[in-house]
Every structure is written in C-alpha cells, then in structure tokens.
Amino acid sequence: MQAVVLHAFGGPENLRLESVPDPSPGPGEVLMRVQACGVCYHDVINRRGNLPRTSVPAILGHEAAGEVIEVGPGVEGWSVGDRAATLQRLSCGECNHCNDHRPSLCKEDNRFFGEEIPGGYADYMTAPVAGIGRVPESVPWPVAATACCTAGTAIHTLRTRARVTPGETVVVTGASGGVGLQVLQLARHDGARVLAVTSSAGKAEALTDAGADEVIVAPDLHFSRQVRELTGEGADAVIEIVGSATFDQSLKCLAPGGRLVVVGNLEAGIIQLNPGLVIVKELEIIGAYATTQKELQEALRLIDEGVLRPWVSGVLPLEDASRAHARLEDRGVVGRLVLAPSH
Ligand SMILES: [Zn+2]
Ligand SMILES: [Zn+2]
C-alpha cells in the first residue's frame, strides 16, 4: 500500500509518500480502508520530534475514518463493511480508570495512533476495536475522520472537564482551529456566553459565524484586559487551546473560582505560574486529553443533527501531507485539512 512515512523528525519535507507492506489485523483488531485522515496540530508536534513515545520510521495520523474490510481473531461486534472512525488513543476497558469512565487515564493500554501504533496517513490501517467508534451513514468521511479530535475534544473539554453551565462566560484561545471552532459552537449551544481569542483579524468573521458572542483580536496575545472589560470580574472558564504562549493571560482572565482547562500546547513550551493568584482566587487548573467512545458517539450525533457544523477546509491527496503540515504551521488554516488516499 501507499503510506506517508516519517523517517526522521524535523520539517514537513520529511513526510514522504512511499510503498510499504500491507498491514494485517491481529487479535482484537480490524483492518480499515482509510477514506480520510485529518491533519492535526498534534501531528506537527509529533513530526518535529516533541512526542517522546514516537519512534521513526512512523506513519502519523490519529484522525482516520474508513470501512472495516477485515476482522481479526476474537473481534466481536464489528463486521466487514462497518463504518468506523478512530479515537486518538486506546484503553484497556478493565482497569480502575476505565471502570471509572476515565479511559484517558488508562495506563494498561495507552497506545496512541500515529505514535506507538501506525496511524491513518496511509491507504490501510489496523485498529484495535477499543480505539474505534461507529460512524452513521449520513456523515461524510472527511467529517467522520475529524469528529473525534475536533467535536469530540470539544465535548470532552467543555462538558466533561470544564463543566460549563448555561449563563457562564467562556473564553476560548486558539479559537479558529479545528477544536476551537467546535468549542465555540458547543458553548453557544449549551447556553454559555462565548469570547473567542485570535491572533489574526482576518479570522474574526469565521469566529462570529461559529458562535462567538465577542471576538478579541490580539496579535500580541495580550487579551486579559479586554476580557475584564467585557466581563467585569472575569470569565468563569477558559478553554486553553494554545497552551504555554497564552497560559499566563488565560489565568489572569479568570473570575474568582474560575476554571482553566488546558487542552493544547502548540509550542510544547514551559510556563511560569504565580501560585498566589491560584490560591487567593481559588482557581482550578484542569487538563483535558482524549475523547472517549461515548463522547465520539455524542459528537457524531450532534454533527448529524446539525448542532455542530464540521469545519473541513480542504481535502488533499495523501501525497500532499507535507504541504498540509506547512500550511498548518503557517497558521493559514481555518478548520481542518484532511488527507484522502486515492486507493
Ligand atoms: Zn487530532
Ligand atoms: Zn484501562
């Protein structure tokens, strides 16, 4: 089969299409014919060599969707012809964390597609069934591929982790990316007042369209004063998609008792933190990691019902993986780019 292989960490040019052996499903796995695979900023971080669990050569991509074309030994509940989309990572389904409905914390099987196991930048991929969800007929492949990491992450972050309730004010950093646009729509749908932060004025209209009540354009990434002007005491929650570069401002945006939910760290940077601020305002700093199977089903349902509008901004052939990465790094993408194998 054809696959995009990363032989060395580094620039986008290191992603090259080549012929590799066809994969075959092991026990508990299915073989999927990949119809679409989203290109996520996580893949850029991975390609640069900033994710310690990846070793090269690697096939990246944790946002894949396609049909099941073969079922490995011991698989129940999946058949040839089923439509599937991947979760970002696996879980064992049996440990304390899994039983507690927190599969993101599972250590028994924490393999991540595109890191320890090959991902979806390929014609075909194998997937353990703990790492896939069902895709309704009505959802197109590029949308199905990106649902987990965009709409699913929005559900995990905003509902499960941030616990946002109607009437609360939510600030979203990095609002124009694939996750950000879904968080804006979901927050609006769930009855929150939504403030979107972007570094580029050109993206403001898309953010308003997606559901932002106010757009704060902050090329210098200083936005906490504007949030205070708009809210008085500050925001009830900040969804921190950018990470280290905006963390300090996000913390300063919060009202007393506010929650800062960290779901992205684009530059993989380190931050300095004033514990005093966290103490006197009784702030909560919360992490949000991977989407669960239940959250993926909810994401696909909300997409199917038209509550969440997917934002696939382009579908490129597999061989354009390096171009897709370069565009993402130039911050020139609103929504998600998707690679589609030609088979
Ligand atoms: Zn992703
Ligand atoms: Zn587990």
Closest ligand (CA of 130): 2
- Which two three-digit tokens encode residue 297? 């089903």
* Separation of CA 103 and ligand 2 centre (Å): 6
Give yes or no for residue 123 having a pLDDT over 90: yes
Vertex 62 angle, CA 59 and 63, to 5°:
120
Q: How confident is the model at residue 331 (pLDDT cuts 50, 70, 90)?
A: confident
What angle, 0 to 180 degrees and rounded to 10, lies between the N-to-C axes of helices 321-329 and 41-48? 100
Tell me the pLDDT tens digit for each residue of 246-296: 999 999 999 999 999 999 988 878 999 999 999 999 999 999 999 999 999
* Separation of CA 256 and ligand 1 centre (Å): 32
Share of the chain above pLDDT 70, in %: 100
Rounded Cα gap, residues 321 and 314, in angstroms = 12
* Separation of CA 34 and ligand 2 centre (Å): 27
Tell me the pLDDT tens digit for each residue of 20-76: 999 999 999 999 999 999 999 899 999 999 999 999 999 999 999 999 999 999 999
Residue 295 near residue 155 (C-beta atoms within 8 A): yes
Residues 6+ apart with CB under 8 A from 280: none
Residues 6+ apart with CB under 8 A from 232: none
Tell me the pLDDT tens digit for each residue of 60-83: 999 999 999 999 999 999 999 999
Enter the DSSP assignment of 342: -
Residue 36 near residue 150 (C-beta atoms within 8 A): no
Indicate the average pLDDT of the chain: 95
Closest ligand (CA of 102): 2
Q: Mind listing the domains of the chain with CATH numbers?
A: 2-149+291-340 (3.90.180.10), 163-287 (3.90.180.10)
- Residues with CB in 5 Å of ion ligand 1: 40, 42, 63, 149
Average pLDDT over residues 163-183: 95
